[in-house]
Amino acid sequence: MQFKKVEKNDLSSIKRLSKLAAGIVKKHFDPIIGPEQNDYMIEKFQSAESIIEQLAEGYQYYFVQDNQGEDLGFLAFYPKEEEMYLSKFYLKAEARGKGLSRKMLDFVIKAAKKENLDYISLNVNKNNDAIKAYQKLGFEKIGEQKKDIGSGFYMDDYVFQYKID
């Protein structure tokens, strides 16, 4: 497994990432939040334009790849106050259940340690079955958050945190 950083000036990789993200997110979240809200969120958060803006704001995006360079998923994170905020943590359906998420988390832990941060936090939809995976990785629920994202849509999430040893 390898992690390939997406650079702000690499429009080709940004477009490839956006397409990968849209495919994974569409398949996973349509049954959870419905296609209308999901399409809105994909455009708002995973379009090439949105990714470019996020990279300019300090997000770090990475392709998660197998050893042959095939894209298996992606992740994004950035330092936020006293913690590393894990914004995106996605694998294609066929890559799940193989221990890759542990390697992905270890990668984020290393990045957080470089920034001298003690915690990793994330938001997860309250109906997302990925909650079990986060708990298995060692994340603990510390709160709830309901956020208006526009056009009459809300993100209704749990907030999870991971303490770095």
Q: Could you tell me the CATH number of the domain that includes residue 105?
A: 3.40.630.30
| Containing structural domain, residue 18 | 2-163
The SS3 assignment for 31 reads helix
According to the model, what pLDDT value does residue 165 have? Answer: 87
Sheet holding 83-91, edge to edge: 2-5, 60-65, 71-80, 83-91, 119-125, 153-163, 140-150
Residue 46 in contact with residue 83, Cβ under 8 Å? no
Dump pLDDT digits (tens) for 94-143: 999 999 999 999 999 999 999 999 999 999 999 999 999 999 999 999 99
- Is the full-model pTM beyond 0.85? yes
Q: Return phi, psi of residue 5, to 5°.
A: -70, 140
The SS3 assignment for 139 reads coil
Distance, in Å, from the CA atom of 65 to the CA atom of 68, rounded to the nearest integer, reads: 8
Distance, in Å, from the CA atom of 71 to the CA atom of 107, rounded to the nearest integer, reads: 16
Q: Return phi, psi of residue 34, to 5°.
A: 90, 150
For 134, the token pair is 């986060």
Average pLDDT over residues 143-161: 96
- The total domain count for the chain is 1
